[in-house]
Amino acid sequence: MEACIAKGCRTSGILPGGLRVARRAAELQRQLEAEASTADGLAQMDWVTLWALAVNEENAAGGRVVTAPTNGAAGIVPAVLKYYVTFIDGASEEGIITFLLVAAAVGSLFKQNASISGADVGCQGEVGAACSMAAAGLAAALGGSPGQVENAAEIGIEHHLGLTCDPVNGLVQIPCIERNAVAAAQAITAARMALHGTGTHRVSLDQAIKTMKDTGADMQDKYKETALGGLALNVVEC
Amino acid sequence: MYIGVFDLFKVGIGPSSSHTTGPMRAAKSFADQLESDLILEDVTRVEVDLCGSLGATGRGHLSPEAVMLGLLGEAPETVIPDSVPSTIHEIRSTQVLLLGGRHRIAFREDDDLRMKPLTRLSFHTNGMVFRAFDEGDGLLSQRTYYSIGGGFVVEEGVEGLVDEASPEMVPHPFATAQELLQACDRTSRTIEELMLQNESMWRSRDEVTT
Ligand code: SF4
């Protein structure tokens, strides 16, 4: 994951496939390094954005990534993990392991009880599930109780319910690359929100996963990785 | 079915786990089967149908390239991404493919790799049908696979995931978040401790944590 972020941060140019989508990570890294001294309270978020973009640009270019849980959503878990490693005082090797074990536990719940395929349930199953996994991983690494961790995972998916998969030209670029950056930020918000609570909450993770499955079943095929609806229809190639 | 850490965080190649990693794994499994059925050398032609969503958006997701690599016997975990363009270019320009990495067959992508966006197989939209023919154009083998997301692949009529060891027995099985939380309560352990014990059933602790 680390190697993929590093490669993605170094490489600029245009992504293959004909949409002429420019790779942004390298330029963003230059900007962030230049701004390093400013006292912007949200500067950390920009770095998380950078890491997520880097992974997904690598993916769009056919590079090597780690599915987490899928390729299209592969930027979220590494970006949030790197946030933990980079910005959390007292981050440790043990914490990283905890993060990944818990993220995988949550991922397996999605896989067993619903789906992690955009062609099955839309993007809620890819980016939504990844956000939920990352939120749970971070909450656990920061010392959350099982209840708080489950809450973080639940917040992470709940606000992706209904999300369609409508990649322009069938390429994993628009909306996918940016969407990973936004979902990484949401995962951090979800984890922090859950850690400020007691772990007791109204909607359970199981209910949210079931809702995702049901919503996916109701979703028309044109919103399931077929590039026949949504953005894929309205953003025409010029 | 227990799904562990390494099943979810798999190394794959971009851009799509269901449209790239999955088809590659299916194609490799097909080639491996031909080898283990001892019919690899009788094959003169292979035909592949990519159905449903794979047929619709496969081109943009490099599915055809992934299938060719898989037929060559390449696995998503070990293929060297930088060598992919030249390998593919060679197949396209010579119209020859080394099935399973060793047996030469003719492969004309336009005829042998067919995109069928409107064919929706019953089990899952990402269906793939592989057929192998002998010299007299007799059907040697036909297998249907589904890429069910995240690079996971199942074969029609076969239990379990293709290419994935998934032992059923773990100390703390859970199917829902509620069961997981109850297991935490019962054992006074955290989620990561339970997961680590589950993983350790078939991997040493060091292997899990590296
Ligand atoms: S829009 Fe579709 S292809 Fe893109 S990340 Fe979401 S599920 Fe994957």
Per residue in B111-160, pLDDT (tens digit) is 999 999 888 888 888 999 999 999 999 999 999 999 988 788 899 988 77
**Chain B partners of A229 at a C-beta cutoff of 8 Å?**
none
Q: Is the pLDDT of residue B205 over 60?
A: no
Percent of chain B with pLDDT over 70: 86
User: Are B18 and A119 in contact (CB < 8 Å)?
Assistant: yes
Confidence of residue B167 (pLDDT cuts 50, 70, 90): very low
- List A residues 176-205 in contact with B (Cβ-Cβ < 8 A): 204-205
Pick B191 or B205 by higher pLDDT: B191
Shortest CB distance from B21 goes to which of A67, A68, A107? A67
State whether the beta carbon of A123 lies less than 6 angstroms from ligand 1. yes
Q: Is the pLDDT of residue A124 over 90?
A: yes
Confidence of residue B82 (pLDDT cuts 50, 70, 90): confident
Residues A23-35, mean pLDDT to the nearest whole number: 93
Which residues, in sequence order, are CB contacts of A143 under 8 Å at separation 6+? none
Model confidence over A175-231: pLDDT tens digits?
999 999 999 999 999 999 999 999 999 999 999 999 999 999 999 999 999 889 999
State whether the beta carbon of A176 lies less than 6 angstroms from ligand 1. yes
Residue B78 identity:
T
Residues B181-200, mean pLDDT to the nearest whole number: 87
A147 contact B CB<8A: yes
A108 contact B CB<8A: yes
pLDDT for residue B163: 61
**Closest CA relative to residue A96, chosen from B4, B192, B170:** B192
Q: Which two tokens stand for residue A16?
A: 């293959």
Q: Which residue of B has its CA nearest to A66?
A: B11
| CA dihedral sign of residues B197, B202, B205, B210 | negative
Residues A91-99, mean pLDDT to the nearest whole number: 93
- List B residues 140-199 in contact with A (Cβ-Cβ < 8 A): 147-152, 174-178, 180-181, 184-185, 190-192, 194-196, 199
pLDDT for residue A238: 53
CATH of region B11-155, choose from 3.30.1330.90, 3.40.50.970, 3.30.9.10, 3.40.50.300:
3.30.1330.90
User: Are A102 and B176 in contact (CB < 8 Å)?
Assistant: no
Question: How far is the C-alpha of B100 from the C-alpha of B74, rounded, in Å?
Answer: 8
Measure the CA angle with vertex A76, ends A75 and A80; round to 5°: 120
Q: Is the pLDDT of residue A32 over 50?
A: yes
- Determine the 3-state secondary structure of B85 from DSSP: helix
**Chain A partners of B20 at a C-beta cutoff of 8 Å?**
62, 71
The total of other beta-carbon atoms located within 10 Å of residue A200's CB is 8
Residues A47-63, mean pLDDT to the nearest whole number: 95
The total of other beta-carbon atoms located within 10 Å of residue B19's CB is 31
The total of structural domains in chain A comes to: 1
Quote the minimal CA–CA distance from B5 to chain A in Å: 5
Torsions phi, psi for B86 (to 5 deg): -70, -40
Residues A5-25, mean pLDDT to the nearest whole number: 92
pLDDT for residue B165: 41
State whether the beta carbon of A127 lies less than 6 angstroms from ligand 1. yes
User: Are A204 and B177 in contact (CB < 8 Å)?
Assistant: yes
Residue B168 identity:
E
- List B residues 60-99 in contact with A (Cβ-Cβ < 8 A): 60-62, 81, 84
Give yes or no for a contact between B15 and A72, defined as CB atoms under 8 angstroms apart.
yes
- List A residues 18-57 in contact with B (Cβ-Cβ < 8 A): none
pLDDT for residue A237: 62
pLDDT for residue B81: 77
Q: Which of A69-78, A142-151, A154-163 has the lowest mean pLDDT?
A: A69-78
pLDDT for residue B200: 66
User: Are B18 and A113 in contact (CB < 8 Å)?
Assistant: no
Shortest CB distance from B10 goes to which of A60, A66, A225? A66
How much distance in Å is there from the Cα of A199 to the middle of ligand 1? 30
The alpha carbon of residue A22 and the mean position of all alpha carbons in its chain are separated, in whole angstroms, by 20
- Determine the 3-state secondary structure of A226 from DSSP: coil
Residues B53-60, mean pLDDT to the nearest whole number: 87
How much distance in Å is there from the Cα of A172 to the middle of ligand 1? 6
pLDDT for residue B17: 82
* Average pLDDT value over all residues in chain B: 85
Ligand 1 atom nearest A122 alpha carbon: 7
Helical segments of chain A, H only: 2-10, 25-34, 43-60, 76-87, 93-113, 118-121, 127-141, 146-158, 176-195, 205-218, 231-234
Confidence of residue B168 (pLDDT cuts 50, 70, 90): very low
Domain ranges of chain B: 11-155, 167-209
Residue found by looking up tokens 């602790």 in the block: B205
Helical segments of chain B, H only: 5-8, 22-36, 52-57, 63-71, 84-94, 109-112, 177-187, 191-199, 205-209
CA gyration radius for chain B?
19
- Count Cβ atoms within 10 A of the Cβ of residue B175 and give its class: 0-12 exposed, 13-18 middle, 19 or more buried: middle
Shortest CB distance from A71 goes to which of B12, B84, B196? B12
Domain that holds residue A67: 2-234
pLDDT for residue B164: 52
Q: Is the pLDDT of residue A13 over 80?
A: yes
| pTM: predicted TM-score of the whole model, two decimal places | 0.76
Question: How far is the C-alpha of B109 from the C-alpha of B95, rounded, in Å?
Answer: 8
- Determine the 3-state secondary structure of B115 from DSSP: strand
